[in-house]
Chains A and B, each alone.
Chain A
Amino acid sequence: GAVVSQHPSWVICKSGTSVKIECRSLDFQATTMFWYRQFPKQSLMLMATSNEGSKATYEQGVEKDKFLINHASLTLSTLTVTSAHPEDSSFYICSARLTGSADGYTFGSGTRLTVV
């Protein structure tokens, strides 16, 4: 079936640096993608919705200048964590809207970010 490929699966970075996470749709065009964050033992929290060719819509409380989302093509959305700090360490998951699937969505496998 349709797959969303998310890279990297894990990354360790130094405090103050920026990290880019890619979410790529394989074999289908993803006009809408979603980015989630998940802290240990907690549920997924929706961060933002990205639509191809337009600005992302951020959920309340999510800093858009810190979490830069780019959805420049129908197959690629990226999340850049800028000036990362230890409190940004989390599991980040992307999802794409997928028409024709049983539930209308498909999820990436997630990226574990550790900021040291």
Chain B
Amino acid sequence: SQTIHQWPATLVQPVGSPLSLECTVEGTSNPNLYWYRQAAGRGLQLLFYSVGIGQISSEVPQNLSASRPQDRQFILSSKKLLLSDSGFYLCACLPAEMNTEAFFGQGTRLTVV
């Protein structure tokens, strides 16, 4: 079965510092990968998704970027964090055929101070 590893679980970073959140997937090949952000008490906002190595689609213009250097690795980055980047970040994996459930990592709570 599929497993997603997402780390770290909690992160406190100063404004202007860089960010790197990593997500790795086990148990599947060539998955679709997603990064979401969730503000407190709100829904999930799709930030980026990827259907293959090096293929990144961005949903919302912002201070973040994503990369997929390997088939089962998805990285969320920022060169300089803003206060508004605070939130709960979730990585998700969906098999390429899309006709099944998505698996989620446990999330990273990012606080920019």
Q: Bound pair: A and B?
A: no
Q: List chain A positions with a Cβ less than 8 A from chain B.
A: none
Q: List chain B positions with a Cβ less than 8 A from chain A.
A: none
